[in-house]
Structure 1
Amino acid sequence: MTITARGVGLLSGAAVLLLTGFWFGYAELALLGTASALATACAVGYAAWRPRLDVTRVAEPDRVARGESAVMTLTVRNTGRLRSANLIAEDRCGSQPVAVPLLRLRPGHDTTVSYPVPTHRRGVIPIGPLRIVGRDVLGLVTLARSHGDAAQVWVYPRIHPLAAVPAGVVRSLDGRIDRVPHGSITFDSLREYVVGDELRRVHWRTSAKVGELMVREHLDTSLPRIVVLLDNRAGAHPRVSDGVAETFESACEAAASVVAAALREDLPVSLLLVVEPYDGGQGGGSPHFLDRLAVVTLQPADRGGPPRPADQVEPPQPGGRGDDGGPLLAVTRRLRQERHGDTLVFLTGPGAQADLGHLGALRGAYPSVVVGVFGADRRTPAGAAGMVVIDAADGTEFAAEWDGIQRW
């Protein structure tokens, strides 16, 4: 509860009038002071009245691509029995207030208000809760309360359709690397027998040792395993306008397009971030990969690992580098050691052109390395033999260049 400036003035005047009236024996001043104090008390009681409202909100839809339309529908029902609600409510849509008039809302009735949700920026937009400010008629006291739950609208990056997907990579017996769409079956693991398994897949020797039937699991190693590495270092995307780095938005669109194309073809895919505790691609190939791309933001280069003492932090190097290469170098080392796939797609901005040497070191572990650089003023050199570099201005141009690669 907040007392307005008018209320403070009236309450102070009431105290002065009461003190003067009783001290000097002026009944009229004491009467005015008493009336002022009673007016303030009545204002507090009026503002403290809590309307009984049932608030329901529905986002249609609650997950959209950037630029698509979304509408928030708010239904407010007066569940009280005595008074009509005559209020001005305010809903929060991101950082913007939205007025919701509740004029003469009789008991047992409801009203519905709809308003568009701004989706021009990728991210998660928090909406609500409904905030109602109670005021008395004299404007002496205000009391704000929240009604209903909050909601979220997820704004995904745009997905550009990709017609081409990488072919499978498998090593033949004579040591060469052959590209085939499917067909190489390799033993992967053992598991317990379940009804319906073929008996020819039972591993009898292990079954005899453990005392129950064990079945061989096989893996098609020729299927391409795609790793999408998104560079979310702030230094890699230095051009920020109105709080948005368009090169990073384009990189997110490219990542969403590649992952969507791989899932369409039922290919295993992992989505990784440069500045993040390494999670081995957890959630990268799930249907919720767009949720992950909706919440990702640019991070300082010193995030994603244990803090270093101040005397061990190297100063930024000139020449347009995204940073000192620490987070990217750490991720590439882990990718080389653990080898999550055979096709690596690295998406970055103009501030990381000098960091591509780290990707060249992965050519031994990843036969196919594709680098997408967005918003660069000059052409990006390949940096290593066999590395494919795509210079694009936005996600649409990246999709066109991707489909034009002859190596798929």
Structure 2
Amino acid sequence: MGSSQATGSTRITGSGVAMAAATAVLIAAGLVLDYPELLALGLVAGVALLCAAGWMTVTPDVTLIREIHPPSVFQGDGARALVTVTNAARRRSPPILAAETVGEQTVAVALPSLAPGARFQAAYPLPTDRRGVFEVGPLVVGHTDPLRLLHVGRAFPDRSTLRVHPRIHTVDPLPTGGSPDMDGPTSATSPLGGVAFHSLREYVRGDDLRLIHWRSTARTGKMMVRHNVVPNEPRMTVVLDTSAAPYAGDYFEDAVRVAASLAVSGAQHGFPVELWTTGGRRGAAESSRDVAGLLDLLAAVGPADDDPGLAELTRMTPGEDGMVLGVVTGQPPGARLGAVSAVRSRFAMASVVCVGEEHGRPGLPVRGALTVNVRTSDDFAAVWNSWVRR
């Protein structure tokens, strides 16, 4: 947040309301009852209100700059805001109590009295106990008169963004089932120049003569060469069910943590990873350097009643052969899980993780897929490795 123009507002406090009521009652009673002492007290109360109003005209003239360090954190890790306050007035500023809005929470920040031109930096922690994308701001600074009858607040409208990523569990990546090719899976779009044989094709000028396949050349009457490519790494697709129906309580957060853990693990083990939500959001990480984008996506997701859920799987088509599927959901009915079986043939391997199981029951069988049924993401981390290593 850079220096910004503030907008101000003045309000009367509860004490001020009581003082104004006392002023009116005492003056009226003094006049009606011809009681000069009551009239004097009422005038004193009125003078106090006028003095408070005069005090409020001397408002602090400050500029503020806010920075968020770091702008993205994992849930529960530390994040803080650093506010630099400069007194731009020619007189000393009074002590200021500022209020910072972070999502739906408010953080109080005390700022001291500053000499003309003086600068002060205040650092304060930001709440990171919940996953999400949070707007930080506006920052409201205010001061009151000595009797706390009136309050002047000035809002600096600039806002910053804090992204709180889901916690990550250390788990193995999705099982790939191995490759049917000795050198690894290949496709027509694989990079040329590798050692893995993909197919035979006609010779074109510039091809290495050592790749000529003489037997096929003799049989077809055309010069045929071996089309060698660099083997593809299995690509992993993690699908998070973002429909509201399968989740009770706070179990959607467990599902987000499971999806994040599988996506990050795949990237860290050298697999390209795609992350899909049934609500239509997509992200990709070609390596571990790209996982921040996936975590940003997961920081922002939430369950929706109008989300199609696992039925959306039937409309998801993998971009290439040999992709591995991992589905993360809550406790959907068996008919919904059947969507995984319907698309199983499109993928080399499929796994399903269901969270929110409160009774220790095994998961519903999903034809052609490894199924894990757990209560929380912590339970998933405890059992996943032993399942995939069998």
The amino acid across from 2:377 in the alignment is: G
- 1:174 maps to none
The answer (yes or no) to whether the contact 1:66–1:122 under 8 Å persists in 2 is yes
For the aligned residues, what is the CA RMSD?
4.0
Cross-structure match for 1:322: none
Matched, 1:259 2:269: no
Q: Which residue of 2 aligns with 1:250?
A: 254
Shift of 1:347: 0.4
Checking the alignment, whether the CA contact within 8 Å between 2:111 and 2:122 is kept in structure 1 is no
Deviation at 1:68, TM superposition (A): 2.1
Displacement after TM superposition at 1:81 (Å): 1.8
Summarize the Cα distance change of 1:166–1:179 in structure 2 as closer, same or farther, 3 Å threshold: farther
Letter in 1 for 2:352: V
Q: Is the 1:164–1:402 contact (alpha carbons within 8 Å) kept by the matching residues of 2?
A: no
The residue number in structure 1 matching 2:365 is 382
* CA displacement at 1:7 relative to structure 2: 3.8
Q: Secondary structure of the residue that 1:356 maps to in structure 2? A: helix
| 1:115 equivalenced with 2:124 (yes/no) | yes
List per-residue Cα deviations over 1:202-239 (Å, max 9, x = no partner). Answer: xxxxxxxxxxxxxxxx986843222211112222111x
**For residues 118-267 of structure 1, what are the structure 2 equivalents within 5 Å?**
118-147=127-156, 149-164=158-173, 166-167=175-176, 178=180, 182=184, 184-187=186-189, 200=206, 222-238=232-248, 240=249, 245=250, 247-267=251-271
Q: CA deviation at 1:142?
A: 1.8
After superposition, the Cα gap between the structure-2 partners of 1:7 and 1:165, relative to the gap in structure 1 and judged at 3 Å, is closer
**Counterpart contact for 1:54–1:148, Cα < 8 Å:** no
Pairing 1:30-41 to 2, within 5 Å after superposition: 39-41=48-50
Aligned to 2:6: none
**In structure 2, what is the Cα distance between the partners aligned to 1:31 and 1:406?**
86
Match in the other structure for 2:194: none
* Other-structure match for 1:55: 64
The correspondence for 2:337, drawn from 328, 343, 356, is 356
Q: 1:31 to 1:180 in 2, by over 3 A?
A: farther
Report the residue type matching 2:380 in the other structure.
F
Task: Name the CA shift for 1:35/1:406 in 2 (closer, same or farther; >3 Å).
Answer: closer
1:12-51 alignment runs, 5 A limit: 39-51=48-60
Q: CA separation in 1, counterparts of 2:255 and 2:14?
A: 51
Q: Provide Cα deviations, 1:57-112, integer angstroms capped at 9, x if missing partner.
A: 33332322122223333332323221232222223344343332223322222333
What CA distance in whole angstroms lies between the structure 2 residues aligned with 1:271 and 1:26?
80
Give yes or no for the alignment of 1:332 onto 2:313. Answer: yes
What code does the residue aligned with 1:390 have?
V
Residues 311-362 of structure 1 show CA distances to partners (whole Å, capped at 9, x for unaligned) of xxxxxxxxxxxxxxx5421x12212597797221110123455521121111
Q: What runs of 5+ residues in structure 2 fail to find an aligned partner?
A: 1-9, 192-204, 208-227
What SS does the corresponding residue of 1:186 show, helix, strand or coil? coil
- Classify the secondary structure of the residue corresponding to 1:288: helix
The answer (yes or no) to whether the contact 1:168–1:180 under 8 Å persists in 2 is no
Q: 5+ unaligned residues in a row in structure 1: which ranges?
A: 171-177, 190-198, 202-217, 304-325
Equivalence map 1:296-375=2 (5 Å): 296-300=301-305, 302-303=306-307, 326-329=308-311, 331-336=312-317, 342-352=323-333, 355-375=336-356
Distance 1:28 1:118 in 2: 54
Offset of 1:294 from its aligned partner?
Answer: 0.9
Contact between 2:81 and 2:126, CA under 8 Å: does it hold in 1? Answer: yes
3-state DSSP class of the match of 1:119? Answer: coil
| Inter-CA distance 264–20: structure 2 relative to 1 (3 Å threshold) | closer
**Matching residue of 1:95:** 104
Alignment partners' CA distance in 2, 1:154 and 1:95: 14
Deviations 1:269-327, CA, capped at 9 Å, x for gaps: 221112x2x35x35576541101111111222x24xxxxxxxxxxxxxxxxxxxxxx54
Change (3 A) 1:102 1:235: same
Q: How many pairs align?
A: 342
Partner of 1:295: 300
Distance 1:236 1:136 in 2: 54
TM-score (norm 2): 0.71
Given that 2:235 and 2:324 are in contact with CA atoms closer than 8 Å, whether structure 1 keeps it comes out as yes
Alpha-carbon distance in structure 2 between the residues aligned to 1:66 and 1:140: 41
TM superposition score normalised by structure 1: 0.69
Contact in 2 for aligned 1:272/1:284 (Cα 8 Å): no
Once residues 28 and 172 of structure 2 are traced to their aligned partners in structure 1, the CA distance between those partners, rounded to angstroms, is 85
**How far apart in 1 are the matches of 2:183 and 2:380?**
24
Q: Name whichever of 95-104 and 392-401 sits farther off.
A: 392-401
